[in-house]
Structure 1
Amino acid sequence: MPSLLCIAAAQSISAPGEVRANVQGHLSMVHEAARHGVQLLVFPELSLTGYEPSLVAGLVLDAQDAALAPLRDAARATGMALVVGAPVAPVVAGDKPAIGAWVFGADGSAALYRKRYLHPGEEQFASAGNEDVFLRTLAGQPTGLAVCADTTHPEHALAARHGGAALYACGSVISEGGYARDSSQLQGYAADLGLGVLMANHGAPTGGYVCAGRSAFWAPGGEAVVAAPGAGACLVIASRQGLAWQGRVVDVVAQ
């Protein structure tokens, strides 16, 4: 019998600048996800700090920071790959911090992706990454990572697909006003490129944005498998047995 693939978007709620508190909130979602057999859990953009431009420079996190040890340990203990958002060191020393996604593997590994395409205005507090594609095997699937505005550049998803990605996973900050446009584009990547597309959005306002929530997964071919109904803390879980996808939303008590 084909093995089960189970992935999820963590629609989390971030306390502005409170890294340790946000780590605890992340752990609550990790433990709940483990109960449902999730193998890959993706959090929103800058999930560990909130999307707070004025705080980015003072909140740069390294994978070895003690504050992140509980997440590294949880990935190993649960056998689950975690993708979490945080400000990180830039590509070039002396530049502004980058907007990063730390990948903590079930094997104890840590990898870093820096947001390749900044949203207009982000250059005031952040610098861009320099990798056109960041591909890792997560939950046994070749997975291309993206952070928010990356997904508005079709060449980014195309590079992931040409690199061999089967999944395209993004952590985002998407408002109600931008949701229809952004979700349509993501669904288009699933339909046109044959990618499974997982999007994790914030579950509450952050950095002045009233986030829409509505984290979602689209199957290869473009089927909308599952989406959160709105804002609030929850897991959006998509699982595949053979070729058939199914989804469910699990509410999580915000910490």
Structure 2
Amino acid sequence: MFSRCVAVAQTTPVKGDVAANVEEHLSLAKLAVDEGADIALFPELSLTGYELALGESLAFEENDARLAALVDLAERSGTRLVVGAPIRIEQKLYVGAFIILPDRSIEIYTKHRLGTFPSSSVCDSLTGEIPPPEPNHFQAGDRNPLIPFNETVAAIAICADIGRPEHPQRAAERQANLYLASMFVIPSDFAGDTAKLARYAEQYQMTVALANYGGPSGGLTSAGRSGIWSPTGKLLVQLEEAGSGVAVVRESPDKLHVRAIMRK
């Protein structure tokens, strides 16, 4: 059995304030590093918040200078960081994830299936309005790099991607044994989405990780409760509904260590 340490970070984004959100990412990433994390996963659009209308004005380029401090941290620590942002590629805007590697290289995953909130989302809305459909602002993407490290192969999903069973299936077919779900999950969707993730973990014998917001964004409340499931579908660790923090699972040949760290 191999050794690895996986962390999920639960953020409380500041609307459109990339600098403040980068600082929170650095703080949470350092908590993960202190726990020995090989990889730390952040939520969907974590660097801007789930602010679809701001995607164009806040869009990141492929080698964006605003990532510099995160790149430096990945290099110093040896920890891989997966962070969410609106990303402009060849004049098209995507919901993306930057994969920041310890050698200072950056890869990009782009969300394959764009989301629309159902009418039930009104129950979770802070403003009484449903966010516009993601296709109003973004293109569906097809970038899908794997992240190999130690004896791990990690695959990424962004939120609505998990709604297509073929997505985790293809990850498993590509030998992934870690499935990283970068998401913004509202309370009314939480039970259904986490049931899917637990089922995928058991079906494909993959560790599955969920990173969610711990505070409101885009006019909606968040369900929080970021967590990690074992390859048997057992929930190993979970954060609270509100607040920021990191959840960590460290696996070794003779021991399983889990820890949840909340910052109020």
TM-score by length of 2: 0.90
State the alpha-carbon separation in 2 of the partners of residues 185 and 243 from structure 1: 29
RMSD of aligned residue pairs (Cα, Å): 1.5
Query: 1:142-157 counterparts in 2 under 5 A?
Result: 142-157=153-168
- Contact 1:134 1:160 survives alignment (8 Å): no
Find the counterpart in structure 2 of residue 122 from structure 1: 134
Deviation of residue 108 (structure 1)? Answer: 1.3
State the alpha-carbon separation in 2 of the partners of residues 32 and 146 from structure 1: 23
Overall identity of the aligned pairs, in %: 34
What one-letter code is carried by the residue in structure 2 that aligns with 1:88? I
- Contact 2:239 2:262 survives alignment (8 Å): no
Helix, strand or coil for the counterpart of 1:89? strand
State the alpha-carbon separation in 2 of the partners of residues 79 and 114 from structure 1: 24
Deviation of residue 66 (structure 1)? Answer: 1.8
Find the counterpart in structure 2 of residue 111 from structure 1: 107
**Which of 137, 162, 171 does residue 160 from structure 1 map onto?**
171
Structure 1 runs not aligned, ≥5 long: none
Deviation of residue 107 (structure 1)? Answer: 1.5
TM-score by length of 1: 0.93
- Contact 1:45 1:173 survives alignment (8 Å): yes
Mean Cα deviation higher: 138-147 or 213-222:
138-147
State the alpha-carbon separation in 2 of the partners of residues 211 and 13 from structure 1: 10
Evaluate the alpha carbon distance shift between residue 64 and residue 53 of structure 1 in structure 2; reply closer, same or farther with a 3 A threshold: same
State the alpha-carbon separation in 1 of the partners of residues 204 and 139 from structure 2: 29
**Which of 229, 247, 252 does residue 236 from structure 1 map onto?**
247
Deviation of residue 70 (structure 1)? Answer: 0.3
When the two structures are aligned, how many residues end up with a matched partner? 248
Query: 1:137-216 counterparts in 2 under 5 A?
Result: 137-138=148-149, 140-216=151-227
1:83-127 C-alpha deviation (Å, 9 max, x unpaired): 00000124xx444x1000000001211100000111122101111
1:233-255 C-alpha deviation (Å, 9 max, x unpaired): 010111111275332101235xx
1:212-245 C-alpha deviation (Å, 9 max, x unpaired): 1100101111111111132210101111112753
Evaluate the alpha carbon distance shift between residue 193 and residue 243 of structure 1 in structure 2; reply closer, same or farther with a 3 A threshold: farther
Find the counterpart in structure 2 of residue 27 from structure 1: 26
State the alpha-carbon separation in 1 of the partners of residues 173 and 220 from structure 2: 33
Deviation of residue 197 (structure 1)? Answer: 0.2
**Which of 141, 146, 170 does residue 135 from structure 1 map onto?**
146
**Which of 194, 203, 217 does residue 228 from structure 2 map onto?**
217
